[in-house]
């Protein structure tokens, strides 16, 4: 995982020790969020990291974390991670 992250200089120094993780979410300190997922990551790990990204996005732009807004964005992101054409 660390090797993949090191290919992205903007965030390479923001993490370390992720070689044993199936997935990790990293924020650039502003508006960008990166999710790194190993090909064999289980659906729970994908949903977990997608939630971190959605929560960060909504809090950053001041959107209330209500059920429907979270569910819509979380579903969209998980579908995109799985390669579902929307």
pLDDT score for 25: 83
pLDDT score for 10: 52
Under DSSP, the state recorded for 37 is E
H or E segment and range at residue 69? helix 67-81
Question: Quick check: pTM over 0.85?
Answer: no
What are the tokens at 86? 């929307």
Mean pLDDT of 42-55: 91
Q: What percent of the chain has pLDDT over 70?
A: 74
Q: What is the mean pLDDT of the chain?
A: 80
3 state SS of 38 = coil
Mean pLDDT of 9-32: 65
């Amino acid at each position: 995982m660390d090797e993949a992250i090191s290919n992205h200089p903007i965030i390479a120094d923001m993490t370390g020790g992720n070689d044993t993780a199936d997935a990790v979410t990293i924020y650039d300190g502003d508006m960008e969020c990166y999710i790194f997922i190993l090909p064999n990551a289980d659906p729970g790990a994908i949903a977990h990291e997608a939630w971190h990204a959605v929560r960060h996005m909504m809090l950053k732009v001041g959107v209330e974390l209500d059920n429907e807004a979270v569910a819509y964005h979380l579903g969209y992101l998980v579908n995109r991670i799985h390669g579902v054409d929307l």
